[in-house]
């Protein structure tokens, strides 16, 4: 059946990983720029200009000048004083020269200068793309980020975990992937998860997922539609008399074709009318309302969804010309086009039956996540939990409300956040406490032992999850390696804040990806570029272990998983 696409809105959470020192330096008055977005290509006519624009954008928008110190002890002013003369000495930018060696020499120097400046930035979400001349007419785009010279520890990649973790789990293991739109196999946004009881100790339930997109499981957004209202009168819908008296029908000169097309379209309309008040649909409506009030995925709702979908799939597909093949002629086509349009208005817009199809498929497709995880957590039947966030690089903030808050039993402060309130280097807001709150419907009834598994690629929302859940008490422990060190906020609309820049500057000379906020933990520690220290440290996998987990998953022993099972089994 037909499935309508819809736009997604996303708030992407990220991480500003702090620069190692920045003090204050004043530019000369050549650039009276009050906001980075005001720069144009006319402000970049030399390597010196290129550096100055970069320096100023950082000076105005970066959120960690106060806390971070560069390893070499240089302040942000010292960076300007040292590198502005170096960039000024590069003369081939915008000059009419065909000396390739001279151009290449300046290009290499500029790249090395930017690496030297940006590499000490410990914000692992921050990056900037900069255009640098390749010759008189062409430019290359080079990407720079903090820590770009560093080598990271090995990790437990998600694809590898899908291969060997199944050996740790029992017969109730579920591995599922679904996308933003129910029933659509390909999408630019999807979630894959693996969960099940641990063989060694069935009281321990295990969950891992590739990104924080669990909110895609949220059925409440799919079930909020007018199709649930079975008493909505048909005020705008298609009437039989509209068919009988339609002048387009009367223009069909072949009386047999006219009668046949009239009978066919009336039959299509009557079948859809009957479906709208069908017992199967009414039962599904009732079960949906119960779910919206409780968020409990019952077997009755799942069965109602399946029955309603079977009934729905028996309906004639009114919007496809193939349905009218036996009566479709040049004369009947205008009337058939009108009928399709009217049915779309009636069925699609007034009755919102396209939303019904999305909802019924969503229930069938995503029921297992509720029935095997969310509902048992809420009922208290899951006694212990392993939350495996290794190699989970983060995702959407809305996962806090949809999932993580289900593991919260009390309101606590889990971190502090600050943004810029002006273009001055230290124009910061006060540190604002970030608090947890229990889920409004589906939270756990009481605290349970939770082990959060981390490695050096657990970033962003993974780290926020660790900070948030550890604020609940000692029943939550983190096991594994240090996290990535990326906790500050990224927004798709940076104009809402003075801090951060996400987008092009100076007519594409730069693309900045700079978070808008700074974050510190409850102890006042900045963890950008440092990461969260695990409660139980387990060294990262060796090269040999990485090879084994990829090529011999049936025999691979996961030391972090073993430590988590042993810890929880003692609780």
Task: List the beta bridge partners of residue 514.
Answer: 501
- b vs e for 59-92, b when ≥16 Cβ sit within 10 Å of the residue's Cβ? bbbbbbbebbebeeebbbbbbbeebbebbeebeb
User: In this predicted structure, what is the pLDDT of residue 4?
Assistant: 33
User: In this predicted structure, what is the pLDDT of residue 63?
Assistant: 87
Confidence of residue 33 (pLDDT cuts 50, 70, 90): low
Give the integer Cα–Cα distance in Å for 222 and 192.
19
Sheet with 413-419: list strands edge to edge.
432-435, 413-419, 517-521
Of 40-44, 163-167, 348-352, 423-427, which gets the smallest average pLDDT?
348-352
Of 68-72, 86-90, 279-283, 387-391, which gets the smallest average pLDDT?
68-72
User: In this predicted structure, what is the pLDDT of residue 114?
Assistant: 98
Give the integer Cα–Cα distance in Å for 456 and 152.
7
Label each residue of 354-377 as H, E or C.
HHHHHHHHHHHHHHHHHHHHHHHH
Residue with tokens 């009218």: 324
Total-model pTM: 0.86
User: In this predicted structure, what is the pLDDT of residue 124?
Assistant: 86
| pLDDT, mean of residues 458-469 | 97
The length of the chain in residues reads 571
- b vs e for 341-361, b when ≥16 Cβ sit within 10 Å of the residue's Cβ? ebbeebbbebbbbbbbbbbbb
* 391-126-457 Cα angle (round to 5): 10
> Dihedrals φ, ψ of 562, to 5°?
-60, -40
Helix (H, G, I), strand (E, B) or coil at 418: strand
Confidence of residue 367 (pLDDT cuts 50, 70, 90): very high
CB 429 within 8 A of CB 417: no
Confidence of residue 122 (pLDDT cuts 50, 70, 90): confident
Name the H helices within 315-428: 333-343, 353-369, 375-379, 398-402
User: In this predicted structure, what is the pLDDT of residue 373?
Assistant: 97
**Regarding beta strands 476-480 and 450-454, do their DSSP bridges make them parallel or antiparallel, or are they unpaired?**
parallel
pLDDT of residue 30 exceeding 50: no
pLDDT of residue 177 exceeding 80: yes
pLDDT of residue 68 exceeding 80: no
Confidence of residue 499 (pLDDT cuts 50, 70, 90): confident
Label each residue of 167-232 as H, E or C.
HHECCCCEEEEEECCCCCCCCCCEEEEEEEEECCCCCEEEEEECCECHHHHCCCCCCCCHHHCCCC
User: In this predicted structure, what is the pLDDT of residue 426?
Assistant: 85
CB 217 within 8 A of CB 264: no
CB 295 within 8 A of CB 441: yes
Instruction: Look at residues 302, 324, 318, 475 and name the one whose alpha carbon lies nearest to residue 387.
Output: 475
pLDDT, one tens digit per residue, over 520-561 is 999 999 899 889 999 999 999 999 999 999 999 999 999 999
- What's the token pair of residue 337? 């086009």
CB 412 within 8 A of CB 491: no
User: In this predicted structure, what is the pLDDT of residue 71?
Assistant: 57
Give the integer Cα–Cα distance in Å for 325 and 415.
64
Confidence of residue 188 (pLDDT cuts 50, 70, 90): confident
DSSP 3-state helix, strand, coil percentages of the chain (rounded to 5)?
Answer: 40, 15, 45
Who has greater pLDDT, 482 or 355?
Answer: 482
pLDDT, one tens digit per residue, over 79-108 is 999 999 999 999 899 776 678 888 999 999
pLDDT, one tens digit per residue, over 238-284 is 666 678 888 999 999 999 999 999 999 999 989 998 998 899 999 99
pLDDT, one tens digit per residue, over 2-21 is 333 332 333 333 332 232 22
| pLDDT, mean of residues 499-504 | 88
| Distant-in-sequence, close-in-space partners of 535: CB < 8 Å, separation ≥ 6 | 477, 478, 479
Of 95-104, 131-140, 309-318, which gets the smallest average pLDDT?
95-104
**Regarding beta strands 501-505 and 413-419, do their DSSP bridges make them parallel or antiparallel, or are they unpaired?**
unpaired
According to DSSP, residue 351 is labeled: S
| pLDDT, mean of residues 360-377 | 96
pLDDT of residue 368 exceeding 70: yes
């Amino acid at each position: 059946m037909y499935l309508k696409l819809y736009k997604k809105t996303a708030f992407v959470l990220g991480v500003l990983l702090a620069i190692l020192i920045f003090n204050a330096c004043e530019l000369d008055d050549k650039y009276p720029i009050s906001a980075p977005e005001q720069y144009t290509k006319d402000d970049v006519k030399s390597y010196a200009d290129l550096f100055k624009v970069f320096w100023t954008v950082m000076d105005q928008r970066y959120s960690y000048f106060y806390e971070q110190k560069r390893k070499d002890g240089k302040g942000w002013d010292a960076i300007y004083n040292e590198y502005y003369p170096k960039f000024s000495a590069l003369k081939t930018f915008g000059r009419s020269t065909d000396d390739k060696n001279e151009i290449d020499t300046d290009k290499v120097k500029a790249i090395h200068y930017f690496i030297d400046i940006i590499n000490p930035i410990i914000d692992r979400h921050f990056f900037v793309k900069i255009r640098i001349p390749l010759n008189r007419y062409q430019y290359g785009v080079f990407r720079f980020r903090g820590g770009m010279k560093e080598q990271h520890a090995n990790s437990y990649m998600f694809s590898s975990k899908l291969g060997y973790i199944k050996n740790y789990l029992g017969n109730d293991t579920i591995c599922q992937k679904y996308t933003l739109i129910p029933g659509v196999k390909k999408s630019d946004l999807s979630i894959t998860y693996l969960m099940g009881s641990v063989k060694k100790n069935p009281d321990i339930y295990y969950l891992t997922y590739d990104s924080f997109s669990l909110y895609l499981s949220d059925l409440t957004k799919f079930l909020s539609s007018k199709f649930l209202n079975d008493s909505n009168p048909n005020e705008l819908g298609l009437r039989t008399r509209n068919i009988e008296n339609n002048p387009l029908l009367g223009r069909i000169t072949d009386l047999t074709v006219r009668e046949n097309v009239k009978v066919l379209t009336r039959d299509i309309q009557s079948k859809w009318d009957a479906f709208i008040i069908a017992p199967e649909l009414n039962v599904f409506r009732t079960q949906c309302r119960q779910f919206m009030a409780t968020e409990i995925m019952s077997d009755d709702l799942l069965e109602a969804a399946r029955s309603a979908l079977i009934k729905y799939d028996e309906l004639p597909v009114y919007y496809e010309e193939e349905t009218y093949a036996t009566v479709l002629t040049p004369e009947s086509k205008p009337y058939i086009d009108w009928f399709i349009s009217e049915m779309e208005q009636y069925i699609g817009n007034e009755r919102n039956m396209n939303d019904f199809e999305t909802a019924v498929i969503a229930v069938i497709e995503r029921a297992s996540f509720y029935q095997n995880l969310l509902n048992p957590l809420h009922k208290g039947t899951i006694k212990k939990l392993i939350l495996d966030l290794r190699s989970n690089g983060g995702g959407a903030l809305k996962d806090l409300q949809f999932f993580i808050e289900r593991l919260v039993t009390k309101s606590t402060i889990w971190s502090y956040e600050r943004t810029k309130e002006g273009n001055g280097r230290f124009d910061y807001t006060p540190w604002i406490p970030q608090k947890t709150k229990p889920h409004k419907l589906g939270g756990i009834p009481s605290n349970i032992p939770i082990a959060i598994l981390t490695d050096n690629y657990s970033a962003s929302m993974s780290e926020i999850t660790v900070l948030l859940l550890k604020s609940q008490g000692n029943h939550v422990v983190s096991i594994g390696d240090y996290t990535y060190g990326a906790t500050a906020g990224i927004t798709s609309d940076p104009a809402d804040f003075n801090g951060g820049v996400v987008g092009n500057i100076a007519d594409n000379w730069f693309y900045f990806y700079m978070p808008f906020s700074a974050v510190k933990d409850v102890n006042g520690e900045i963890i950008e570029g440092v990461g969260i220290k695990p409660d139980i440290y387990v060294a990262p996998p060796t090269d040999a272990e990485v090879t084994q987990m990829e090529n011999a998953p049936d025999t691979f022993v996961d030391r972090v998983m073993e430590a988590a099972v042993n810890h929880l089994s003692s609780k």
